Structure 1
Amino acid sequence: MELIVLVVPDCPHSTLLHERLDLALEQLPETTVTWHEVTDAEEAERLGMHGSPTLLMDGVDPQARPGETASLSCRLGDVPSVDQIRALLTKATRT
């Protein structure tokens, strides 16, 4: 599975997501995470960014709401917990 995190410069939530991803992926050492800084709205739309940070799993944002538009902004809501990340990973590998 390919994991990509999209963030805006100086995202206040990126450190917390990084820590939680490290914990969630402890049992999956073969999984790599690519961090990508997004600086313009066109790129955010092209990549499917729904606020910073956006965690893409195989190119899909599992936390995006139906019909949610791409956005170069802070993500509304909380950064997913370690357990939520593990659940998202489990769900993504089953589909």
Structure 2
Amino acid sequence: MSTRVIADEAERTGFTGSPMILINGHDPFAETGTIPSLACRIHHTPDGLAGAPGVDQLRRALGAAAEGA
């Protein structure tokens, strides 16, 4: 795991808000049409909107990445 500070690089890197989770350089929770910005990110979870993906969502994303590796 690594942490990176994004400031002026938001648009260039495709940063769409914090927390942004990258798995093998890919954002499994990206939403089409989201504009890069320095902002808080809202995730759609089975329990409604939240500040981070749910545990099951993370497990599925990691599993999908492992299958595609």
**So what's the TM-score if we normalise by structure 2?**
0.72
Say if 2:24 is the partner of 1:58: yes
Aligned partners of 1:48 and 1:61 also within 8 Å: no
Q: Distance in 2 between matches of 1:54 and 1:35?
A: 10
Which residue identity does 2:59 align to in structure 1?
A: R
The corresponding residue for 1:46 is 12
The corresponding residue for 2:34 is 68
Aligned partners of 1:48 and 1:60 also within 8 Å: no
Q: Which has the higher helix share?
A: 1
Cα deviation, residue 75, structure 1: 0.4
- For structure 1, the residue ranges without an aligned partner over 5 or more in a row are 1-32
Q: Which has the higher contact order (CA 8 A, sep 6+)?
A: 1
Equivalenced residue count is 61
The corresponding residue for 1:82 is 55
Q: Which has the higher strand share?
A: 1
